[in-house]
Amino acid sequence: MKFFLDTANIVEIKEILPVGIVAGVTTNPSLIAKEKQDIKAVIKEIASLTPGPVSAEVISTKFEEMLPEARDLAKLGDNVVIKVPITIDGLKTVSALAAEGIKTNVTLIFSANQALLAARAGAAFVSPFVGRLDDISQDGIGLIKDIADIFAIHGIEAEIIAASIRHPLHVTQAALAGAHIATVPAKVLVSLLNHPLTDAGIERFLADWQKANM
């Protein structure tokens, strides 16, 4: 399973990219709004910094507006992937963009059937939201597993992005359930490094080294 960074914050992206663990970035309208900057400027900068795919989401809800908006966003970088919600208009847009060679990430997936439809419309990525399902007492990780099983049975190549990841356990469970990618907020990604025995181990090695070299 690969890691994408779930943020529109340039400082976070610049801090974490050199660690060498991030293969792409996902944004959404809420994350862009937090930055209080023009969406095109933000996406262009993120796309120039990031070696892998960068998801930029459309705001329009009707196919007639969604398609030109998506085409405009796609011009911001060769690695820009258009994030589209799972609606009829969204799928029409996905299908039209696929015919033009523009990659899409179908978002707000909450059922296996939605993921299957998105893949059949030509999505390169599908984004099931784990945390938001858990929030309403439904099984977010179970959904990842169902989608991974269905895609494997039917030889579907769309990549599953486990989204709405809230804590380290979600990451491990998403990897075990067969997600190809987890898109993770910076705080959660960094917290994956933490283990008290690692800290204690470093402390003990340094103390022993200092004792022997006094």
Stretch that binds ligand E4P, among 11-19, 65-73, 129-137, 146-154 (CB under 6 A): 129-137
**CB-closest chain residue to ligand E4P:** 164
Residue 25 touching ligand E4P (CB under 6 A): no
Let me know how many helices (H) and strands (E) the chain has, helices first.
11, 8
Which of these segments, 32-40, 125-133, 151-159, 193-201, binds ligand E4P (CB under 6 A)?
125-133
d(CA 117, CA 55): 19
Q: Does 62 participate in catalysis according to the annotation?
A: no
Cβ(124)–Cβ(158) below 8 Å: yes
42 is a site residue for ligand E4P (CB under 6 A): no
Q: Which of 7, 9, 26, 104 binds ligand E4P (CB under 6 A)?
A: 26
Distance CA(22)–CA(94), nearest Å, equals 25
Residue type (1 letter), 202: I
DSSP tag of 193: T
For residue 128, give the 3-state DSSP assignment.
strand
Site string for ligand E4P, 146-165 (x = CB under 6 A): -----------------xx-
Q: Indicate the helix (H) or strand (E) that contains 37.
A: none
Catalytic residues: 83
Contact residues toward ligand E4P (CB under 6 A) are: 6, 26, 28, 107, 127, 129, 131-132, 163-164, 183
